[in-house]
Amino acid sequence: MTEEHSAQLDHLVRKAMNFLETDRAAAWRCLRDASTLLTTKFDESGHTLRSMSSDLIGGGLSRWLVKRALA
């Protein structure tokens, strides 16, 4: 993952964290977008998501990112 993609992901997760208390729907949209960004980048790099499936929740966000966002 490039620095640009990492920065976009960080931005989306932080935005979701800010929305959690006031607008859960917006928080979930940010998390969904972050998940899409992760999935797209893994697909483009040729890595398979199958090996990571045990660490994915719902829309593909890793467990540690969900915990971080909810904390």
Q: Measured between alpha carbons, how far is residue 71 from residues 2, 16, 42, 60 in Å?
A: 26, 11, 26, 19
Q: Measured between alpha carbons, how far is residue 12 from residues 24, 37, 38, 48 in Å?
A: 14, 10, 11, 23
Total domains in the fold of the chain: 1
- Spatial contact of 34 and 65, defined as CB atoms under 8 Å apart: yes
Per the structure, the complete domain to which residue 27 belongs is given by 3-70
Per-residue tens of pLDDT for the chain, all 71 residues: 678 878 888 999 999 999 998 999 999 999 999 888 887 765 555 554 443 444 444 455 677 777 777 76
pTM for the whole structure: 0.55
- Supply the pLDDT for residue 55: 46
The three-class DSSP label of residue 37 is helix
